[in-house]
Structures are given as C-alpha cells and as structure tokens.
Chains A and B, each alone.
Chain A
Amino acid sequence: EIVLTQSPGTLSLSPGERATLSCRASQSVSSSYLAWYQQKPGQAPRLLIYGASSRATGIPDRFSGSGSGTDFTLTISRLEPEDFAVYYCQQYGSTFGPGTKVDIK
C-alpha cells in the first residue's frame, strides 16, 4: 500500500503570501493519479485538483498542482482569507495524506 506524507504539518502565512504544500508517496503514483482536497472546519472536503495538475470545476486559478512519480506540490499563488484550511492529497480512490493545515500568521 502506498503511504502519502505531507509537509509541512502546519504552514503559517499571511493573506497575499504564496503557499507551497508538498505530498510525497512511498512508491510511484501511477499516471499521476493524485488529487488534492481542501477542508474547512465543520465542512466536507472539496476537490481542488485531480490528475496532479487539473483544476476541478469552479476552482480559482490561484490554485495549481504539479509533480509526478513520488513528489507532488499544491501551490496557492496568493492566499485569500477563505484559503485558510486543511489540505489533503490522495492517491485516487484510496490513501489520503495526513494533511497540511494552512493557518493565519
């Protein structure tokens, strides 16, 4: 089973700053079958990115995904107040990473 590791565990930034979140897999993830989700307190997760780099419907272009093989990155170019949340990566259909919390500095 592939294990996903996310870093950092917490990222403290100010609105307007750039956020770079990392997701590393213990084995190569086939065909970039990797997704990113955002979760705010008390809410269900929301799909942001699929196929490692494709934005889901309605997701602002300040969110971008990149990577392949075992190393993937979610970048938020300029943080908006509504972006402070927990972000999870997932190998399609199964394992989730432990999450990165982006909080306000």
Chain B
Amino acid sequence: QVQLVQSGAEVKKPGASVKVSCKASGYTFTSYGISWVRQAPGQGLEWMGWISAYNGNTNYAQKLQGRVTMTTDTSTSTAYMELRSLRSDDTAVYYCARSSNYRTWVSWFDYWGQGTLVTVSS
C-alpha cells in the first residue's frame, strides 16, 4: 500500500533552517511528483511547492521563493523540503503529498504523509 512517512518534530530558533524528509513506499517513486503543504496552528492549508520525482523539476510558491528548496533521492525514494531563514510564522505542520502527475505541479494529491510539526521559537 502507498505510504509516505515523514521525519519527526523539530524545534528551531528564528533564522535557522529545517529539513523535513518524506520516505515513500508502495509505488514507483519516479512515476509521480511530491508536493509540500503546510498548516499553521488552527489555520487552513497552504501549498508550498512541488518536485517531480522523475526529473527533479520544481515549482515553488511565490511567497517562499528564495527560502525553500525541494529535492529527492531516488535511490531511497525519499523527498526533502528545506526551509531557511525561519521566522515565527513558519511554525506549522508540514505535509508531503503524492502528486498524481510527474510532469507538472497541476495535479491532485492522492496520498499524504502524517505531517511534521516545525516550531520556530527563541
């Protein structure tokens, strides 16, 4: 069965970086994309960006351009999301999700990881 298992909770200071992993299993990793979505406490869902597991192409949300990098390691079927220059308003649960299309970010998200809480606090 398809599973996305994310790394554990993180606590970071303002200005630091965080890197969250998402290990996929149960499907051919390179046949899909991975999107990242975050949810601040008590708030809605915010799309952060997408990476093709096939060729590494990316598309990031404009507000995060320059602070976020998404990568994949096809040898371990793992996707990574790194966010730099953390601020208090980056405190959120970060989700990875399988995108139905490896060619484009314009796709639906059919499987989700369990979420990783990132807390930014001095």
- Expressed in whole angstroms, the Cα–Cα distance for A37 and B45 within the complex equals 10
| Interface contact B107-A46, CB-CB below 8 Å | no
B112, closest chain A residue (CB): A44
Q: Does B113 contact A (CB under 8 A)?
A: yes
Q: Does B50 contact A (CB under 8 A)?
A: yes
Q: Which residues of B contact A93 (CB under 8 A)?
A: 35, 47, 50, 59, 99, 104-108
- Expressed in whole angstroms, the Cα–Cα distance for A88 and B106 within the complex equals 17
- Expressed in whole angstroms, the Cα–Cα distance for A50 and B100 within the complex equals 10
| Interface contact A44-B61, CB-CB below 8 Å | no
| Interface contact A44-B113, CB-CB below 8 Å | yes
Shortest C-beta distance, A47 to chain B (Å), equals: 5
* CB-based A-B contact count at 8 angstroms: 62
Known: A92-B107, A93-B104, A93-B106. A45 touches B61 (CB 8 A): no
- Expressed in whole angstroms, the Cα–Cα distance for A92 and B47 within the complex equals 10
| Interface contact B47-A50, CB-CB below 8 Å | no
Known: A44-B95, A45-B95. A94 touches B110 (CB 8 A): no
Shortest C-beta distance, B79 to chain A (Å), equals: 15
B61, closest chain A residue (CB): A94
Closest 8 CB pairs of A and B: A44-B112, A93-B105, A50-B108, A96-B45, A35-B108, A93-B106, A92-B106, A47-B110
B residues near A (Cβ < 8 Å) are 35, 37, 44-47, 50, 59, 61, 95, 97, 99-100, 104-115
Q: Please, could you name 12 A-B residue pairs with CB atoms under 8 Å apart, sorted by A?
A: A44-B97, A45-B37, A47-B111, A51-B108, A88-B44, A90-B47, A90-B108, A92-B106, A93-B50, A93-B106, A94-B47, A96-B37
